[in-house]
Structures are given as structure tokens and as C-alpha cells.
Structure 1
Amino acid sequence: MPRLPPALLRQAHSISPQLHALLPACRDLQSARSELRWIREHALSSSSGAGQPSNRHGNAAVARLVARRARGEPLQYVLGSQPFGALDLRCRPGVLIPRPETEAYVVHLASLLLRARKALGAAAADGRPLRVVDVCTGSGCIALLLYQLLHRGFPGAGSLRVLGLDVAPEAVALARENLERNVRRGALPATALEGGDVRFAQADLFSDGEWNSAVGQRGGEIAGVDVLVSNPPYISTQGFDRDTGRSVRNFEPRLALVPGAGLSQGTACAPEDVFYARLLKVSRVLRPRVMLFEVGDMEQARRVAQMATGLEQSEQWHVEIWRDDPDLDGNDGLREEVLNGRRIPVRGSGHGRSVFVHRVPELVT
């Protein structure tokens, strides 16, 4: 990382010592100004809400928060929240911070599902709801935003059910807190909580017993999920140590980013791809009609797409790679990759972000 020019540091200090403290973490003056403003607003609202004198307690709170951020702690942990679509999500050390790139593909997925809601609703002709399972749910960001975006398109009590699963109890607790928080705020309908439309449970994807029990909690048979989504650990040990930012390495949970040692034993895939191999394996039991998996880069996207083309009855599956902002094809337009002799569309621009797999003709454009 390049050093900051001394003149820039002096300029920041002349404006505010707190701005000077934030500059190494923010890297530019404009970002430091914005973060200092957000920290001050957060401290003021917190001290006022507690019925304390806002100036004295607020200034002390600002100093504490600035010191945390200056040490490289992510702003989302410092402020304790992160906007995600229409939601406001609590963030806490030990649980991965929601990313804007994740929000972009979730919004695009929801728009596609709404466009194909008649075809997807046909599966519920027997009264069964549209069922979404989010694996490695973390803060619950994907599960909650999908429900928020989809629930009006699938009206009626119990017509949409979302289940978020995570191996970490602290993640499940935070996801449940975010569900309750956003119902209280009015960002989610009361049915999400009171009607049990959204639930979170602890389960290990690699433990057949835990997995089957957790998914079976939805009622009815396990094989009946319509949409399977996941942002799993996908970074190699070397990549985590070499390529991730210092704030990620020092503050965010390694468990949510790097697959555990030994999980890839007995598989032919790279250690960082083991979650995708397992997700595709359980898809044979769940029989989803739509799957979306976040990936780390374009090379990993190619590997996962290649795995997906090897699914049973692969001719029924349509596979796409999504870059950042998949609803925007950019100046280059739609591209293609040829994998296993099949042409795989590549949508969006920027970094490879996710792999989209489905067998719903209405979703093919």
C-alpha cells in the first residue's frame, strides 16, 4: 500500500486531529471527511437516545470510535450497522460484513424471480410456498433482502418461506436480531417474523444429520427447495494471507472466508472450491430450480460453472456467470465462456462475482 504524502497528512491535521487520525485507514481526505461525519452522527444519536448530555458524552464517544477506526477496524463494526438495500443491518465482530457487490446480485436475482413468478408459482399450486434456502447466511443479509424484495410478488400468508442456515451460532443470533430489527423498522412485514416466513437455524453443511434436520424444519419433505443461494467461504489460505486487506485479516471472521482444513479431502476440487462441490451435491437431494453462488473472482467462477455443467441431466440446467452489477452489461455487451463444450453467458462488468444456475425456461433471456 503506497504511503500517504506528508503534505496530505498535514492538511488533514490542520482541519481536525480526528481527520488526521482517520486518514491512514481511509486513504483519502474525502473518505475521511465522510467517515468522521458518520461517526459524529452516530455518537450524537446514541448519546441523545440514552438521555445523556449530547455534547460531553458525544465528544468522548466520537474519540473512542475514531480511535477504533484509526486502528483499521472496519467502519461497519465501529458504527454497528450497514445499509443493505432497504434494510439496515446490525454488524458485529465475528460475523462477515455485508458487501455492496452482494447486494447488487441479490437485487438482480430478485428481479428475475419476480419476472418468472408465474412459472415459479406453478410449483405452489398444491399450496406449498415458494421456498428459499440461504446457506452460510452470516448476518442474514441475502435471506432478508430476498424476502423484502419478493414478498409482494408472492402475496398471501405463507406463500414465501425463507430459511437461513449457518454453522456459527453468533451468525444465527445476529441474523435473528436483524430480522426483528427490520420488522420493527417497518422495512419487513410482520409476517416475516410473526408468521414464521423467515427463519434462521444453525447447521453444518458438511454434516448430513444437521443439514437434513435443519432443512426439514420447513415442514414436509426435504426435497422441495425452489431457490438455493449461498455466499460461502471461498478464499484459499494463501489468498487470505496474501490478497485480503489488513482490516479483513485482522477483524473479519476467517471461518466465513476460508474453508476449514480437511473439508476438501476426498474431493477433486481445489480447497477453496469445496463448498461449491458440497452445495451441488446436496442440490441432488433438494432439487432446487434456481441456484446462485457468490465466488471470489473470474477464475473461480469458471471452475464453479464447469462443476455446474456436470450436474445430472445437465442439459436441463442453464448456467451463467455474473460479474459485478449483472443487470448492466457494460460497453462490451454480453460475453460468453466455453466450458465443457457449452457456451456460458457472462453478464455485467467488473470482477467475476457469482454463478447462476437454473432450470426455469422463463429465466432464459
Structure 2
Amino acid sequence: MPRLPPALIRQATFQNPLLTLLLRVCRDLPSARNELRWLREHARDVVNTKRYTSHEASTSVLPASTAQVESVRIRKHEVKKFTVRTVKVPTERTPIRTYNVGEISSLRAEGLRPSIRKVPTQNEHDNVRTSKPAKIRTWHDDGVRELRLRSQSDEVLITGESNEHVQVQKILAENVGKRSKGMPLQYIIGNQPFGNLDILCQRRVLIPRPETEMYTEKVGNLLLSALNSIYSSTEPSSQSRKKFRILDLCTGSGCIALLLHSVLKPPGRLCDNTAIPPNIGIEILGVDNSPDAVSLARTNLKHNISQKLLHPDAANEVSFHNVDVLALAKKGGDGDDRRHHVRNVLNGAAADVGEDDDSYSPSESWDMIIANPPYIGPKDYELGGKTEPSVRDYEPKQALVPGFARGQDSYYRYRSSSILVADLFYWPLMRIARAVDAKLLVMEVGDSEQASRVCKQVFNNYSPDTASPSQFRPRLETWRDDGSVRIIPTQPSSNFDAGFEEATDPDIADRAVVVWTDQMAAWRRETLPASNPEFDKTSPTD
């Protein structure tokens, strides 16, 4: 990593010493300013939350002592009174002013914390020591300076604001220190925007990426068009109602599953051309091998519904469960018994029942699979590889580097001479997709080189002698980070590697490999005809 210019460091130090620390990870001043602003806002939110909690605790019970009860006059029919009055410190010239419960409520409504102190009775009034009001200079709006008396309530207010500022600065300094050591900003602040959603983040669960957000929104919008086109002629009725079922494998924080639901059924919007047809239902199942990920995904589901960022129906249409994808693929296969096992496990998880329960349909198929699996090779993950230090030091390795199936002693049980460790998950994803008759498969990849290898796996897994009859003539695409699409031939050729590399922009990575089959492939061919002759001339299907 290149050294920062001394002039840049001096400029940051002059503006704010905290910017100098953030430059270690941001590497430029505009980014450091943005992160400092976000961290400051987060510190204020933390302090305000603590104040609110403390305020609620201190005002939840009325005073119980005799002297305090006597000093608070409860008037009937005045509980809803919200007139704020100044409570002055009693002196020899100032009579004691009492306030009612309605006025305490008004202080709460204004966000102030009323201080409850013992009011002196008549017998002990002579023993009260008062402080002499201090004279301070203030300015009117017209610039004329005047003298006024600063009461003790002013001092309390100033002290409270000062304490709040000190707390904010303390939290800010601590979090800037964490960020300067490489801790991801999302783990410090605790959330990450993802589309229109607010995804909560925590250690041990992968942070959502902008690239994942891009292709998730893309596939969601394509599904809207496809479903409105394919099922537009069907009249909505209870007999003809169809459920479109989506599997989100390796779900992590649940961001993909939740964003898909948000796109297909926008919150607070009636069914129109921006939502799925009324005769189509949604069912989304997110699975992951990590219990921490499944727990966070369920929390994100509830959180985004409570924030009205998700349609309320998501509570019944989206679920998350713990399933080992590699182990499931190993037990499943192309035979009828093994295909039935895969469906039985996934349908049982979706229905939240055991495999021996007859209250669900174990053989029901799934329409779509989307997955962001671990795809970083061990060498790229190690020190000196392509993985950034903050990712390697703080994010969960099992979500980045392919591991082993539960109960397996060695990776070599899965190993093939043509499959690298980084590509370990793609063959199981295709195998599960065939087992459930998925008509759309979307798999995230790390770069164009990996996309090329995965495409060659598609050739082997979706050939006519391995696919079911409904999965003949697949449509194969790669989606790039710039939003462009290239169509790949579904038959291997001797010059495939050279052609793929020649058509690859080194500055724009392929981000997802997409396989369309059955009526989804037919719809895709109509809406996006073959546009790359170099890749289509060898394919008899496009």
C-alpha cells in the first residue's frame, strides 16, 4: 500500500486530528470526511438513546415520600395539560411554585428530563441556602448586548449539554480508533443500506456488498416482467393461484431474500405493473450453514417490517433456516430417490416441520435459486493475496472461503481435477437446482476468470443427458459490474477460453452466472435476443 503524501496528512490534521486516523483506511480526504460524519452521527444516536432510556427510567415512577407528594398537586381533569412552566429555585423573594402531573408529562413530551428534588416545607424554609444568580452577557438578534441573570436552571442545561458533548466525543474517538485499525464501518455502526432496506450487521456474518445489491435488484425487476408476461393471461382466482418459490442458498444476513421480496411486493403499494400479478403468491426460503447468519437474517426480517421497509406479508412469505448446502447436494442427485430427498429437506424447512411430518408437500418444486456462496480460494485469502486485510481480519472466513460439508473428514471426497477449491460450491448449487427443477439459477462469482470456469461447469451439468426434459435448451448469461450482459453458448467449444478472455474487459468483472431454463428461458430469448455473435454462433440453442 503506497504511503500517504505528507501534505495530505497535514491538511487532515489541520481540519480535524481524527481525519488523520481515518486516512489509514480511507486513503483520501473526502472519504475520510464522510466516514467521520457517519461515525459522529452514530455516536450522537448512541448518546441520545442512552438519554432516552435513562429519562424513561427516571420518570416511570412518581415520588413516594410525603414531602414530595405534598409538593405535587394532582388535579383531576388536568392530566393532559401540556403547558411548560419554569421551576425556579425558591428564595426569600420567590414563592414556591408547584407543578402538576400534566406539567411533568409536558416535560417528557419536550424531551427534557425533569429533576425531582425535595421541596422545603415551611418549617425548614429558613435553612435553605440559595446561590446568588450570576450575571452574564448575551446578544439580541439586532446585536445589542445586555445583561441578564443566569439562573440555576441555565447552569443545569449547560452542564447537561456539556456532558452530552463529552460522551459523544468519547464514543467518536473510540470508534475512529477501531476504524483506523481496519474494522469495517458496518460492524461499528451496525447496519448497511441494501436497496431500500436497512440490513443490520454483526460480527460472524458477512457484510452485504454493493455488487450483490446490483444483481439482486436486476433479477428482481426481471422477475416482475417475466411473471407479468407469463401469467398475465391467467385470471386471478383461488383455483388458478400459483406460488412462485425462491431459494436463497448461503443467505448470510438475509439481504438477498429480503430485497427480492421488497422488489416483487413493494411495501405500501397495491398490485400494479410494479408488482407481481395478484394471482401469483411468493414464498422465499433462505438457508445457511451458520446459526449466527440465520439468527441475524430473522432479525433483519422483523427489523425491516417494523421500519415499514418490507411489506407486512413478508412475515409469512419469507423464512430462514439452518441447512448445510454441501451436505444436501452430496445426499441428493439425479436419481428419483435422491431428488426427492433434496426437495423433502427444503420443503420441510420452508414449512418448519420435520422430514417425517405429513403436513406439507415434500415433492413440491422450486422456481428459482439465487446464491452468494463462498468463492475465494485459500491462496487469495492468505496474507499477500487479493483479499483486503479488513475483510480477512474481521469478516467470517467460512462465508468467504469454501469449507467442507458437515461430517466430512476431507475435502478430497468432493474434489475433482477440474474443480478448484474456490469453485467448490458451484457444482452443488447446480445439482440442487436440477433436483428441485429450478427454472432460474443465479450464482455470484468473484471475477471474470471464475465466471469462465463456472460456465464450463454449466456445460457439464445442463447437457441433455444429465438434465430433466423440462431443462433442455438452457439460456446462459454472465452479468457484469457495469450492468451489461453477455450471452454464453450452452455448448462447449475448443476456443471457448480464448473467446471468453478476448471479450472480457479487465476493468469490469463478471459478477453473476445466470442459467435460464424452460419457459423462463423462452421468455428471456424473446426479451433479450442474442446480441454477441462471437458467443452465439457456436450455440444451436440461441
Decide whether the 8 Å contact of 1:105 with 1:325 is kept in 2. Answer: no
Secondary structure at the residue paired with 2:204?
A: coil
Change (3 A) 1:338 1:287: closer
Give the structure 1 partner of residue 15 of structure 2: 15
The alpha carbon displacement at 1:126 in A equals 4.8
Give the structure 2 partner of residue 251 of structure 1: 394
Give the structure 2 partner of residue 324 of structure 1: 481
Change (3 A) 1:137 1:321: same
Structure 1 CA distance for aligned equivalents of residues 434 and 180 of structure 2: 48
Amino acid at match of 1:204: D
Secondary structure at the residue paired with 1:217?
A: helix
Give the structure 2 partner of residue 289 of structure 1: 439
Give the structure 2 partner of residue 185 of structure 1: 307
The runs of at least 4 consecutive aligned structure 1 residues that moved more than 6 Å come to: 122-125, 346-349
What does the per-residue CA deviation read over 1:65-99, in whole Å, with 9 as the maximum and x for residues that have no partner?
11110110011111111000000110111111000
| Partner residue of 1:217 out of 330, 349, 354 | 349
The alpha carbon displacement at 1:222 in A equals 4.3
Decide whether the 8 Å contact of 1:132 with 1:228 is kept in 2. Answer: yes
Change (3 A) 1:68 1:222: farther
Give the structure 1 partner of residue 413 of structure 2: 265
Amino acid at match of 1:307: Q
Structure 2 CA distance for aligned equivalents of residues 166 and 284 of structure 1: 19
Amino acid at match of 2:477: E
Structure 2 CA distance for aligned equivalents of residues 253 and 10 of structure 1: 36
Secondary structure at the residue paired with 2:2?
A: coil
Structure 2 CA distance for aligned equivalents of residues 222 and 297 of structure 1: 36
Q: How large is the Cα RMSD of the aligned pairs? A: 2.6
1:340 aligns with 2:492: yes
Give the structure 2 partner of residue 133 of structure 1: 247
Give the structure 2 partner of residue 171 of structure 1: 293
The alpha carbon displacement at 1:50 in A equals 2.5
Please say which of residues 1-10 and 28-37 is displaced more in the overlay: 1-10
Amino acid at match of 1:304: V
Decide whether the 8 Å contact of 2:476 with 2:489 is kept in 1. Answer: no
Aligned residues with identical type, % of pairs: 37
| Partner residue of 1:277 out of 427, 433, 445 | 427
Matches within 5 A, 1:293-312: 293-310=443-460, 311-312=462-463
Change (3 A) 1:320 1:157: closer
Structure 2 CA distance for aligned equivalents of residues 266 and 23 of structure 1: 44
Structure 2 CA distance for aligned equivalents of residues 74 and 101 of structure 1: 17
Amino acid at match of 1:265: R
Change (3 A) 1:229 1:42: same
Change (3 A) 1:23 1:217: same
Secondary structure at the residue paired with 1:247?
A: helix
Matches within 5 A, 1:25-44: 25-44=25-44
Structure 2 CA distance for aligned equivalents of residues 180 and 292 of structure 1: 26
Give the structure 1 partner of residue 524 of structure 2: 363
The alpha carbon displacement at 1:272 in A equals 1.2
Decide whether the 8 Å contact of 1:143 with 1:162 is kept in 2. Answer: yes
| Partner residue of 1:230 out of 367, 371, 374 | 371
Secondary structure at the residue paired with 1:316?
A: coil
What does the per-residue CA deviation read over 1:198-241, in whole Å, with 9 as the maximum and x for residues that have no partner?
00001101223796424433342345111100000001100111
The alpha carbon displacement at 1:339 in A equals 6.1
Structure 2 CA distance for aligned equivalents of residues 31 and 335 of structure 1: 37
Amino acid at match of 1:164: G
Amino acid at match of 2:474: W
Structure 2 CA distance for aligned equivalents of residues 335 and 175 of structure 1: 33
The alpha carbon displacement at 1:357 in A equals 0.5
Structure 1 CA distance for aligned equivalents of residues 230 and 412 of structure 2: 34
Structure 1 CA distance for aligned equivalents of residues 322 and 374 of structure 2: 16
| Partner residue of 1:202 out of 301, 317, 322 | 322
Structure 2 CA distance for aligned equivalents of residues 79 and 337 of structure 1: 45
Change (3 A) 1:296 1:215: farther
Amino acid at match of 1:224: S
Change (3 A) 1:266 1:21: closer
Decide whether the 8 Å contact of 1:232 with 1:294 is kept in 2. Answer: yes
Change (3 A) 1:155 1:65: farther
1 or 2 for the larger relative contact order (CA 8 Å, sep ≥6)?
A: 1
Give the structure 2 partner of residue 145 of structure 1: 259
The alpha carbon displacement at 1:335 in A equals 7.1
Secondary structure at the residue paired with 2:379?
A: helix
Structure 1 CA distance for aligned equivalents of residues 349 and 279 of structure 2: 18
Structure 2 CA distance for aligned equivalents of residues 111 and 299 of structure 1: 27
The alpha carbon displacement at 1:157 in A equals 9.3
Give the structure 1 partner of residue 167 of structure 2: 57
Please say which of residues 284-293 and 209-218 is displaced more in the overlay: 209-218
Structure 2 CA distance for aligned equivalents of residues 79 and 148 of structure 1: 24
Structure 1 CA distance for aligned equivalents of residues 320 and 231 of structure 2: 23
Decide whether the 8 Å contact of 2:476 with 2:488 is kept in 1. Answer: no
Decide whether the 8 Å contact of 1:263 with 1:274 is kept in 2. Answer: no
Structure 1 CA distance for aligned equivalents of residues 230 and 210 of structure 2: 27
Structure 2 CA distance for aligned equivalents of residues 214 and 188 of structure 1: 24
The alpha carbon displacement at 1:21 in A equals 1.1
Secondary structure at the residue paired with 1:243?
A: coil
Decide whether the 8 Å contact of 2:241 with 2:280 is kept in 1. Answer: no
Decide whether the 8 Å contact of 1:164 with 1:200 is kept in 2. Answer: yes
Structure 2 CA distance for aligned equivalents of residues 279 and 145 of structure 1: 21
Give the structure 2 partner of residue 352 of structure 1: 510
The alpha carbon displacement at 1:108 in A equals 0.9
TM-score (norm 2): 0.62
Give the structure 1 partner of residue 535 of structure 2: none
Change (3 A) 1:322 1:260: same
Secondary structure at the residue paired with 2:319?
A: strand
Change (3 A) 1:356 1:264: farther
The alpha carbon displacement at 1:347 in A equals 10
Secondary structure at the residue paired with 2:284?
A: strand
Change (3 A) 1:291 1:338: closer
Amino acid at match of 1:355: V
Decide whether the 8 Å contact of 2:284 with 2:319 is kept in 1. Answer: yes
